[in-house]
Amino acid sequence: MAAIVNTEILRDRLPKKIGRTLIVGSHVYRGRTDRRMAYKDVIGVDMIDGEGVDYVIDLESDYLPPIGLFDHIECCSVLEHSRRPWLICANLERLLVLGGTIFVAAPFVHRLHAYPHDYFRFTVLGIKALFSKIEWTFDAITSIDCLDKSKCPIIKKDGHPYLARSESVCFGHKI
C-alpha cells in the first residue's frame, strides 16, 4: 500500500534534477505560494493568465510555443481540469529532457471545483498509465493536511485507507 504523507513536504523533499524547471498550473491563488520562487531557472505555464503565469499555454494542443526543454517538471492539481489529460502528459514527456525528473500530483478524493472545469480523479496507477516514457521511482497517497491528524481522518477497512481529502502523487524520470 502507498505511503500516506503530506503533499507539500513531499514535493519539496524529493530529489529533483537541478536545472531548468517548468511549473504546470502556475497560477497563484489567494493563500498559495508562487512555486516558481523555489527555483532559479523556471517558467510557469497555465491555462489562464494571472499572477505566477509566464505563458498561457494549452498543453492539450498539438502545437506548443517554443519554450524549450526542461530538466524538472512539476504538474500539480492540473490533470483533473483537462478533458484529455493523456495529451497533456504526452506533451510534458516531450518537454522533459532525457533523465529529467517529474513530479505529478492529482486529486484522488476531493470536492468538485472549477478552473474552468473539473473532470477527473486519479489513482497512482492512473497517473502512471498516462506517462509511457517515465520510470516512476516513488508514489504515494497524500494529504495536504496529514500532519494535523484531526484534519486527515484515516479509516482502514480491509486494509484500505479511506481519506477525506487526498491526492495521488508520483515522481520519476524520463527514460
pLDDT in tens, 114-131: 767 889 999 999 999 999
Please give the domain boundaries of the chain with CATH numbers for all domains.
Answer: 3-174 (3.40.50.150)
Q: Are 168 and 131 in contact (CB under 8 A)?
A: no
Q: What's the chain's average pLDDT?
A: 86
Residue 1's pLDDT band (boundaries 50, 70, 90)?
very low
| pLDDT above 70 (res 50) | yes
CA distance 86 to 81: 12
Tell me the per-residue pLDDT of 52-91, one tens digit each, with 9 for 90 and over. Answer: 999 999 999 999 999 999 999 999 999 999 999 999 999 9
| Structure-model confidence comparison of residues 30 and 103, the more confident one | 103
| pLDDT above 60 (res 5) | no
Q: Which residues contact 163 (CB under 8 A, 6 or more apart)?
A: 4, 108, 109, 141, 143, 152, 153, 154
Over residues 40-46, the mean pLDDT reads 97
Question: Which pLDDT score, from 0 to 100, does residue 68 have?
Answer: 97
Q: Are 134 and 173 in contact (CB under 8 A)?
A: yes
Q: Are 29 and 50 in contact (CB under 8 A)?
A: no
Question: Which pLDDT score, from 0 to 100, does residue 2 have?
Answer: 47
> Would you call 131 helix, strand, or coil by DSSP?
coil
Over residues 102-113, the mean pLDDT reads 86
| Structure-model confidence comparison of residues 110 and 79, the more confident one | 79
